[in-house]
Copies of this chain bind each other. A is one copy, B any other.
Amino acid sequence: MTQPAGDGAGPLALLAGGGDFPVELTRILVGRGESLFVAALEGVADPVSFPGADVRMLRLGQVGSLLDELQRRSIRDVVMLGGLPRPSFGALRPELATLKYLPYFARAFRGGDDHLLSRVVRFFEHHGFRVHGPADIAPELAAPVGPLGTRQATEAQRELFLRGFSLLDALSPFDVGQAAILADHRVVAIEAAEGTDAMIERVADLVARRRLRLDKRDGVLVKAPKTGQDLRVDMPAIGPQTLHNVAQAGLAGIALKAGQVLVGDRAGLGRLADELGLFIEGVA
């Protein structure tokens, strides 16, 4: 995982999906004075969100055009970041230059999301590109070690979230468990296919229906990647909405595996945590 800017490598391409993370990464790289080409995904990324970068909008079905453009620009280093729509294979509307790659991606689509992402990485590597993780390019995008805001976890909360990280570790061999919620001295929710937000909502619902009792300083969300998860294309992430949901559910805070969970704008998230009365903390 070399940093292309650090060792005299060439220019970098950001394949940008939706959301704030690709925008934040662009801000960081442009701020460093790096030359950046952004291939922004039509329908989810907004071309005006990447000031200082060279932007081109592309559809998912324009892989052929993308490869041509990257070659023309002598770009060998790519980073992929941002939310993707859940595409159906039929909705790709492939251009002519992409048709020859379709059998490759057709196989990838059959295997589900994770498989699709690792296929995409291998596709670019097969074509001679280096695929970098966003946190390798810009470590400040990920949770640091320590609190992001001014609040810190209590000893009891720390004990609870360390138990949560052990739980996620134990789940890793089963390729599941990016997040869990612990409260009332026990594990109250474990994330699988439903996603983090749905899991938080479930806990809020249990509290509302008095199936679960939360004390004021009780309840932590823990989040970490699965072992073996490809952090180049599939980093777990939290954002402002996660904090709002956690506060809404009445939890006390959030613990993240430092360096391995995307937070985007650290300072902004820390301020929001302070406003909401939450701790949010990266754990080594």
Contact = CB atoms under 8 A, between A and B. Distances in A.
Contact of A171 (B167, B175, B202): B167
A59 interface: no
Interface stretch (A22-30, A95-103, A188-196): A188-196
A188 B192 contact: yes
B193 A206 contact: yes
Nearest to A185: B112
A173 interface: yes
Interface in A211-229: 211-212
Contacts of A181: 192
A232 interface: no
Copy count, this protein chain: 2
Nearest to A112: B184
Nearest to A202: B194
A164 to B, nearest CB: 9
A266 interface: no
Contact of A174 (B166, B175, B176, B189): B166
Among A180, A193, A203, find the residue whose CB has the most chain B CB atoms closer than 10 A.
A193
23 contacts: A112-B184, A112-B185, A112-B186, A167-B171, A167-B174, A167-B176, A170-B171, A171-B171, A171-B190, A175-B186, A175-B187, A176-B190, A180-B192, A181-B192, A187-B193, A189-B192, A189-B194, A190-B190, A190-B192, A193-B206, A193-B212, A194-B202, A194-B206
Interface of A: 112, 163, 166-167, 170-171, 173-177, 180-181, 184-190, 192-194, 198, 202-203, 206, 211-212
Nearest 7 A-B pairs (CB), nearest first? A176-B187, A188-B193, A190-B190, A170-B170, A167-B174, A189-B192, A190-B192
